[in-house]
Amino acid sequence: MEIPRKIGGRRSDLSGSTSDHVVIVGAGVAGSALAYALGKDGWDVHVIERDLIEPNRIAGELLQPGGYNKLIELGLEDCVEGIDAQKVLSLAAVYKDEKKAIVPYPSGVGARGFHNGRFIQKLRGKAASLPNVRLEQGTVTSLLEENGTIKGVQYKTKAGKELTASAPLTMVCDGCFSNLRRSLCNPKVKRCFVN
């Protein structure tokens, strides 16, 4: 499938249906970073997120050096600035017998420790800063399928209006509590507890 690499391909009709190059469900870490990367390449991107308020859960994040290098590669490294991110130069491992080992990170890179919600808001802001990326608060209720091919999504806006968003490419990045995943596949969940 070839997607046009130009800005301005977004179309809208009187029914409230829109057509973009890509629809992304979810504006967490994956969805927001993907929206920015595709938008930067000229794709018209429509991101639909259930709740655009900063996530407020007790969750820290330790972005490993490889992840930070990927942010640099994508042009998103400034998303860890202004969120009280701490540079981590090494990890310490303490064994049962109280022996310790210091595990240094590669010189000059380091990891970054920060509050997950602030990071997500910075990623969303960066994606939304592009003229061809549109973030919208809404709840995706179903995927639109035609002859075995996903053609977009049906969703409810924050105001409760039911709309459709169609695109040649639909990416589902709605996280671990996805209500869409079950309609796409039925993976066997294996549980493993390490004590």
CATH classification of the domain holding 16: 3.50.50.60
Please give the pLDDT value at position 14. Answer: 40
Per the structure, how many domains does the chain have? 2
**Residues of the chain whose pLDDT is less than 50?**
1-9, 11-15, 195
Please give the pLDDT value at position 133. Answer: 98
Torsion over CA of 145, 143, 167 and 162, rounded to 10 degrees?
120
Give the CB-side neighbour count of residue 121, counting CA atoms within 13 A: 13
Please give the pLDDT value at position 179. Answer: 82
Please give the pLDDT value at position 17. Answer: 54
| CB distance 42 to 7 below 8 Å | yes
Residue 134, domain extent: 11-56+121-178
Please give the pLDDT value at position 88. Answer: 93
Domain contains 65: yes
